[in-house]
């Protein structure tokens, strides 16, 4: 049995399509789980409840923690440590291995130009501090021998099922399709890596089913040579037959927008990811597992 916690999210849905390559027993866990392939076991659970989490994980060999929470720092501070603690306890009870689907928020802003697994973990944002805290919870449990764990880390992602959590789709593609200006942040001149959701899901499944993956952090396969903000907008505009109209928001504008839009308010502290080059390096994964990520040209075409 392989179990996905947070099966209703972008990565959970794609992961559910991939896991049948490894097992015929897949369990999808969410508040309101829905079948993806059609033959999964569906379990409704609130991961803030320890007993519910234990029941959801029971009988699993591998568990994937792919939960996505509301983009709000108070929610993250209140919920993430409990979810991680409950998941660790549940996996320890079930003797299940744990794959944690992670992001890059714990890295120091100075590391953006070449983000590797060895980059310095010293977050300057409140959300980054939460992410580092739960990562430390995970590794403490692993080092104590309570569970076997691995980390599958992704850059910002785009692609099938990404929807509202994808900057490329929400801020760029959708406005262009409506004849409006695409939105970007920080600077249009900086390259910015994005991980394709199908690559993220395939990579996560590979890690959950590889003996050499445990006890390490892995950057999921992500195409090299990322485009700049300007190039993403021009490429998507050409694909939908629109003019590449653009509006760019810096930190000051984001603060003003935050008066009216909660997401923009939350995004202010993350603007450092867009005001400098952002290269996500996945060489370790790609060389170890002989995997080549989908190119940006192919990935962007698939969005249309």
- pLDDT by residue (tens digit) across 280-289? 999 999 999 9
The pLDDT of 40-50, averaged and rounded, is 96
Summarize pLDDT for 128-137 with one digit per residue, the tens. Answer: 999 999 999 9
Is a pLDDT exceeding 60 seen at residue 230? yes
Residue with tokens 């445990």: 214
Q: Which pLDDT does position 159 carry in this prediction?
A: 92
The whole-angstrom separation of Cα 251 and Cα 265 is 10
**Alpha helices in 126-277, H assignment, sequence order:** 126-143, 167, 174-177, 197-208, 229-240, 251-257, 262-267
- Structure tokens given for 189: 């001149």
Q: Are 204 and 64 in contact (CB under 8 A)?
A: yes
CA distances from 232 to 115, 202, 219, 246, 298 (A): 20, 24, 22, 11, 13
pLDDT above 60 for 258: no
Quote the pLDDT of residue 250.
Answer: 65
Q: Are 30 and 6 in contact (CB under 8 A)?
A: yes
Token digits for 154? 């992704």
pLDDT of residue 137: 98
Residue 22, C-beta contacts closer than 8 angstroms, at least 6 positions apart? 2, 205, 208, 209
| Nearest Cα residue to 199 out of 157, 227, 143 | 157
Task: Report pTM.
Answer: 0.95
Q: How many CA atoms lie less than 13 Å away from 243 in the CB half-sphere?
A: 6
User: What pLDDT score does 272 carry?
Assistant: 87
Please give the residue that has the higher pLDDT: either 272 or 93: 93
69/80 Cα distance (integer angstroms): 8
Asked if 65 and 87 count as a contact pair (C-beta separation under 8 A), the reply is: yes
């Amino acid at each position: 049995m392989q179990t996905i916690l947070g099966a209703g999210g972008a990565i959970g849905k794609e992961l559910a399509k991939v896991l049948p390559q490894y097992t015929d027993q897949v369990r999808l866990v969410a508040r309101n789980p829905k079948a993806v392939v059609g033959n999964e076991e569906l379990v409704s659970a609130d991961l803030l409840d320890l007993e519910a989490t234990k029941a959801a994980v029971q009988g699993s060999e591998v568990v994937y923690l792919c939960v996505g929470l509301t983009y709000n720092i108070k929610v993250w501070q209140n919920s993430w440590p409990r979810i991680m603690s409950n998941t660790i306890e549940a996996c320890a009870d079930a003797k299940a291995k744990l794959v944690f689907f992670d992001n890059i928020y714990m890295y120091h802003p100075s590391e953006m130009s070449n983000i590797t697994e060895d980059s310095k973990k010293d977050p300057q944002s409140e959300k980054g501090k939460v992410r580092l805290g739960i990562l430390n919870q995970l590794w403490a449990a692993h080092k104590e021998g309570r569970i076997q764990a691995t980390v599958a880390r992704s850059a910002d992602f785009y692609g099938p099922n990404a929807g509202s959590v994808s900057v490329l789709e929400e801020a760029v593609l959708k406005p262009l399709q409506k004849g409006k200006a695409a939105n970007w942040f920080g600077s249009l001149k900086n390259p910015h890596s994005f991980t394709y959701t199908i690559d993220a899901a395939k990579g996560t499944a590979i890690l959950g089913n590889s003996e050499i993956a445990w006890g390490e952090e892995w950057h999921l396969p992500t195409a090299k040579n990322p485009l700049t903000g300007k190039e993403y907008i021009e490429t998507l505009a050409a694909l939908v037959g629109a003019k590449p109209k653009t509006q760019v928001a810096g930190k000051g504008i984001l603060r003003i927008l935050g008066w009216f839009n909660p997401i923009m308010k939350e995004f202010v502290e993350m603007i450092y990811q867009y005001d400098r080059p952002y290269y996500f390096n996945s060489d370790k994964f790609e060389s170890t597992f002989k995997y080549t990520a989908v190119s940006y040209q192919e990935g962007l075409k698939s969005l249309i």
